[in-house]
Amino acid sequence: MEQQELVREILRLKEERRAVILAHSYQRPEVQDIADFVGDSLGLSREATRTDADVIVFCGVHFMAETAAILNPEKTVLLPDLEAGCSLAETINPEDVRAWREQHPDGIVVAYVNTSAAVKAMADICCTSANAVEVVASLPEDRPIFFVPDMFLGAHVERVTGRKLDIWLGECHVHAGIRSEDLAAQLAAHPDAEFLIHPECGCSSTCIFLRPDAKLLSTEGMVRYAAQSAAREFVVATEVGILHRLHQKAPGKRFIPVREDAICHYMKRVTLEKVYESLRDLKYVITVPEEIAVPARRALEAMLALG
Ligand code: 13P
Ligand code: SF4
């Protein structure tokens, strides 16, 4: 099928199935364009709680679809490609969290949403890159905190809140691959550009020495910032799927990726063809067993309750 016909069929099936399509900002441009809602992990979690559709087609990666399924046990949640995983979520399993808990019976576990449902079930509260600082700042000061699994986001939260955290040494291969040398070269080439960087980046700890005015933001935070800023040019350190959304929401401005090859192949597994097949055949249904979903929902709702 040609692209136009695929889009027509997706829209027709969407009506027929009473479905909503949610897409992360790292998705392919043509997938973002057919979505009802495009956003960051926090926006997508919120949107998943608001929809009255019967079916949610999640154009993103597995942990995001699991989050939608946990928050909507009565809805059908579909992930168009089961291989859409996440290298960061893979770095930790529930046993790792259990081992820390055994050593710290009064400890609090904060799980970044880039984790499996089973890890979320072991956590007290979840966070995303948009609210990690706020989540940690809301916790009691006299108890140990385990922040999992992203070490660079954890270090950013420590710097901003001044809190001491136990941090799991996990990283996302895409963001860890954006190195200080790449950053220094792009910033030198574009001295007047504003600088937007995702806190998952390996160089997010050193970037403040290169550019003290760096804006460490979630993907949606970048879109919002670029749309309202008076600047015309931005150096952007994150997965390059965000550029499509930046161009849409801040038209006429120039966005320079720190690395053009910062591509998450998991995110790109979802194609229009697979979205069509997903709606046609109602596949692949993502479910989370009750014994995991109940405690994981508690941790997600604790985060969402912070507003
Ligand atoms: P946000 O969309 O929450 O900024 O997260 C980025 C990410 O890596 C999602 O996989
Ligand atoms: Fe996971 Fe990194 Fe891909 Fe985000 S960009 S889904 S953290 S592998």
What CA–CA distances, in Å, run from 160 to 110, 132, 136, 176, 237?
16, 10, 10, 20, 19
Residues 152 and 187 in one domain: no
Backbone φ and ψ for 267, nearest 5 degrees, come out as -60, -35
Q: How many domains does the chain have?
A: 3
Backbone φ and ψ for 138, nearest 5 degrees, come out as -80, -5
Confidence (pLDDT) at 177: 95
The answer to ipTM > 0.90 is yes
Pocket of ligand 1 (CB under 6 A): 40-42, 114, 128-130, 172, 198, 200, 218-219
Residues 120 and 147 in one domain: yes
Strands (E), 60-107: 76-78
C-alpha closest to that of 119 among 175, 62, 157: 62
CA distance 24 to 281: 22
- Does residue 130 sit within a domain? yes
Backbone φ and ψ for 68, nearest 5 degrees, come out as -65, -40
Tokens 């609210």 belong to 131
User: Structural domain of residue 137, as residue ranges?
Assistant: 89-171+293-304
Residues 155 and 298 in one domain: yes
Q: Residue 307's pLDDT band (boundaries 50, 70, 90)?
A: confident
- 208 pLDDT exceeds 90? no
Residue 247, domain CATH: 3.40.50.10800
User: pLDDT averaged over the chain?
Assistant: 97
Q: Residue 225's pLDDT band (boundaries 50, 70, 90)?
A: very high
Which tokens sit at 163?
């809190």
The answer to the question of whether 265 is labelled as a binding residue is no
- 103 pLDDT exceeds 90? yes
In sequence order, the 6+-apart residues with CB closer than 8 A to the CB of 122 are 94, 97, 98, 101, 109, 111, 295
Counting residues of the chain whose pLDDT is more than 70, the rounded percentage is 100
Q: Residue 284's pLDDT band (boundaries 50, 70, 90)?
A: very high
Q: What is the pLDDT of residues 125-147, one digit of tens each?
A: 999 999 999 999 999 999 999 99
* C-alpha count within 13 angstroms, C-beta hemisphere, residue 271: 9
Ligand 1 mean position, distance from CA 277 (Å): 26
CA distance 135 to 270: 31
Pocket of ligand 2 (CB under 6 A): 61, 86-88, 114, 172, 174-175, 239, 264, 266-267
SS3 215: strand
Counting residues of the chain whose pLDDT is more than 90, the rounded percentage is 96
Q: What is the pLDDT of residues 145-175, one digit of tens each?
A: 999 999 999 999 999 999 999 999 999 999 9
Residues 129 and 196 in one domain: no
Best mutation site among 25, 119, 172 for ligand 2, i.e. most ligand atoms within 8 A of its Cβ? 172
Confidence (pLDDT) at 1: 86
- Does residue 262 sit within a domain? no
Residues 119 and 252 in one domain: no
Q: What is the pLDDT of residues 249-270, one digit of tens each?
A: 999 999 999 999 999 999 999 9
Confidence (pLDDT) at 295: 98
Q: Residue 209's pLDDT band (boundaries 50, 70, 90)?
A: confident
What CA–CA distances, in Å, run from 201 to 110, 155, 179?
19, 11, 8
- 210 pLDDT exceeds 90? no
Helix (H) or strand (E) segment spanning residue 47: helix 41-50
Residues 239 and 228 in one domain: yes
